[in-house]
Structure 1
Amino acid sequence: MKKEKYVAYVSTYTSGNKSSFGIRIYDVDMENGRFFEKDQVEITNSSYVTISHNRKFLYSITDFGVESYKILEDGSLSVINHASINGMRGCYLSTDYDDKFLFVAGYHDAKLTVLKVGEDGAIGEITEEIFHKGLGSIAERNFRPHINCVKMTRDNKFLCAADLGMDHVVLYELNHSNGRLRQVDMIRSEQESAPRHLKFSADGKYLYIVHELKNYIDVYTYSIDEHNNPVFDKIQNISTLNTYHAGGSAASALNFSEDFKYLCSSNAGDNSVIVYSIDQETGLLDKRFCLPVSGDYPKDAALFPDNRHLVALNHESDSMTFFNVDMEKGIMVMNGKEMKVDQPNCIIFYRL
């Protein structure tokens, strides 16, 4: 049987660095749990990247809005076009499950932008612009509206917009014909918890929300009531830290393993990564380990597709660190020396 090949896309900031390459592409050595640099893409300040659900296109945040790329056979990227989001630089983006719309989260201006996407992957016109408003408990950095994540429910009915300044996730119904949004509900988090990222289980029945300031993950069941409204019920709250940990920690990453059996998060300040196993029946999380990453501010962390290795993207120490993972024993051990990469933001593994 032919071994599956993977590449990894890593988005980085370019401001203050000598490099103008905001996306780096690596060949993945699955057997040894390491990367080899393959290519670099010239783009400014790629805060985040996402891949379309049809696996043909990659979209990235840039200073100028959003940019689209065709994914070539060897994993290299060929630029299609770019489009303005009519606002400040975004921090997160995703597509709906039909790949007809692109959603962009605005941290700095609390703006949610929806853009059309063509069958050729090109980004079209803006169909919706919504500014989140209000004040949290204290009018400080984290207590004004900051949209940090936008993601559709897996049934493609509702868009979830995590607002870490207002401590809630706003739920919008998507009109698939015109790309407009209608607010239908919200999921309220604990005050000053800062919901940062969210992910749905493979079957769409469970929602996981990581909270930056209170360092925990909330797990919800998702269903639809008789009036076609979304219903979310909280079933678990679990820490992203050990009971002994550094003060001033901030939870960051939220990534499933490729087989959806594990969930991975990270903690800045504590500079650790935590991996949970997921009960496939109940959706509940069980901590496997929480261990240091040998880097500063692990903004993102992900298991390799074989679940035997892990990589941490250490934003402040300009590095990626690699680990061998043993899920049965609940340990990870550093695997070789760090790789230098300026201000890494996020990582995606892609099967060729």
Structure 2
Amino acid sequence: MAEKYVAYVGTYTHETSVGIYVYDVNPDTGLLTEQSVAPINNPSDIINSHDNKFLYSIADEGVAAFKILENGDLEKMNQEWVGGMRGCNLCVDSQNRYLFVAGYHDGRVTMMKLNEDGSINGIADGIFHQGIGKSVADRPLYPHCTCVELTPEEKYLCVVENGLHQIKIYEVDYEAGKLHLADIIRCPMGSAPLKMKFSHDGQYAYVITEMSNEILVYDYHIIGDRPDFENIQTVSLLVGVDEEISTGTNIKFGDDDKYLYASVDGLNAVCMYERNVRSGKIEYFSHNFISGDYPKSFAVLPKDKYFVSLNHDTNEIRSFTIDKKTGHSLMQNPPIKIAKPNSIVIVKIK
């Protein structure tokens, strides 16, 4: 049986889009073909369960759960309030016990209980961050949670705190459904960390910053039953380019974690970095312009032959080849028109 992949794309629905768009994905051509759409209000971030049976989404009303059907279409199960203002980022543990929500507007991290059937069972725990970050451009920064990411062994939850220039590390009590602060990574003041990803081997963490336009590289271990993050490298997102007004937007791996990818607004490019898998350190490889404005997010398609860019302000998805020899990417296929795309996940359904 041939493998089948689908892409789920979350959008802002205040213009012409209506929810989460489902696309059939051809990883050999980079072509995405619209299959269906699941109506929901402003699904600005989405995440699939590790067994690919369920999809979870931010919504104006809180968070929503969908069942992934055999053909990849979505069937809504339920939705629940998160105990604060609308969230902006999600993650879920591998056993599908809890859904974690980052709240940008109110600086809240929320832990949502999941039922065995994948539906959401309400709030287990929630914590509002407090404090004031360094003023940048005469603008004081208040707590803004922009990313939730479980550590590879899933003992800790990393909450990227964009406003306080920190990453708060919470120990996850799965039995009691509680979060306990275990440590704080203090990023450079004024950096505004935004998103965080771990390498496939789980030994290194990579953080893209919004204001300093950098990738922060951390060595990660558990030492004496405590999380330990050591900053081993800081790399600019703007190597070899003259673009002062830029901001990092997202960071991801493909199947091959010898390369790390980062999207940059202002520069309007997806940058590639070669990665030393032994040391965890990265080196700038290339930047590839996305022929549009504001690459809010992107996805490296299975097999690492193509990436697709969600060009938020020009209302489109564009696909590009990946060239690991020269770094030069070529645009492929006609652009897909879609209003205000925000997030994307690729799911193998068979």
- The bucket for the TM-score relative to the shorter chain is over 0.9
Deviates more, 1:2-11 or 1:125-134: 2-11
Residue 14 of structure 1: how far off its partner (Å): 0.2
Residues 139-166 of structure 1: CA deviation (Å, up to 9, x unaligned): 8667111000011101111110001110
Task: Give the match's secondary structure for 1:337.
Answer: strand
The partner residue of 1:234 within 231, 234, 237 is 231
Whole-angstrom CA distance in 2 between matches of 1:80 and 1:326 = 41
Q: Following the alignment from structure 2 to structure 1, what is the Cα–Cα distance between the partners of residues 279 and 121?
A: 40
> Is residue 283 from structure 1 mapped to residue 304 from structure 2 by the alignment?
no
What SS does the corresponding residue of 1:335 show, helix, strand or coil? strand
Instruction: Tell whether 2:147 aligns with 1:149.
Output: yes
**Which letter does structure 1 place at the counterpart of 2:174?**
H
- Offset from partner CA, 1:8-53 (integer Å, 9 cap, x none): 11100001x133x210010112222111100111000011000112
Q: 2:10 corresponds to which letter in structure 1? A: S
Structure 2 CA distance for aligned equivalents of residues 279 and 299 of structure 1: 27
Give the CA deviation at 1:351: 1.1
- Kindly indicate whether the alpha-carbon contact (under 8 Å) linking 2:170 and 2:179 is maintained by their aligned counterparts in 1: yes
Q: Deviations over 1:255-285 (max 9, x none)?
A: 1103433221111111111012322222222
1:203 aligned onto 2:221: no
Partner of 1:108: 105
* TM-score scaled by length of structure 2: 0.96
Q: Which residue does the alignment assign to 1:135?
A: 132
AA partner of residue 212 (structure 2): K
- 1:122 corresponds, among 100, 119, 122, to 119
Match of residue 89 from structure 2? 92
Percent identity reads 40
Aligned to 2:340: 343
Task: Find the aligned partners of 1:184 and 1:40 in 2 and give their Cα distance.
Answer: 41
Aligned counterpart, 2:163: 165
Report the equivalent of 1:50: 47
For residue 263 of structure 1, what is the aligned residue in structure 2? 260
Matches of 1:283 and 1:297, distance apart in 2? 28
Give 1:308's aligned residue. Answer: 305
> What's the RMSD between the two structures over aligned residues?
1.4
Shift of 1:286: 2.6
Aligned residues: 348
Cα separation, 2, equivalents of 1:314 and 1:264: 16
1:18 aligns to 2:16 (yes or no)? yes
2:184 alignment counterpart? 186
Tell me by how many angstroms 1:340 deviates: 0.9
CA contact (8 A) 1:194 1:211 kept: yes
| Greater relative contact order, per chain length (Cα 8 Å cut-off, separation 6+) | 2
1:59-78 paired onto structure 2 within 5 Å = 59-78=56-75
Equivalent residue for 1:326?
Answer: 323
CA pair 137-334 structure 1, distance change in 2 beyond 3 A:
same
SS in 2 for 1:306: helix
Gap change, CA 1:142 and 1:316, over 3 Å in 2: farther
User: What residue in structure 2 maps to residue 296 of structure 1?
Assistant: 293
**Structure 2 CA distance, aligned partners of 1:141 and 1:97?**
39
- Aligned residues of 2:30 and 2:333 also touching (Cα < 8 A): no
Q: 1:302, CA displacement in angstroms? A: 2.0
Any idea what SS the aligned residue of 2:133 has?
coil
Q: Residue 8 of structure 1 corresponds to which residue in structure 2?
A: 7
Per-residue deviation, residues 222-257 of structure 1 (Å, max 9, x unmatched): 11122x111111111112223323221010011110
Question: Is 1:143–1:192's contact at 8 Å kept on the other side of the alignment?
Answer: no
Match of 2:30 in 1: 33
Q: Distance in 2 between matches of 1:70 and 1:187?
A: 36
The answer to whether the 8 Å contact 1:142/1:194 transfers is: no
Query: Which of these residues, 207, 216, 219, is aligned with residue 218 of structure 1?
Result: 216
**Which whole-Å CA distance do the structure 1 matches of 2:339 and 2:139 have between them?**
25
For residue 54 of structure 1, report the CA deviation from its aligned partner.
2.2
Unaligned runs of 5+ in 1: none
Cα drift, residue 203 of structure 1 = 2.1
Structure 2 counterpart SS, 1:116: strand
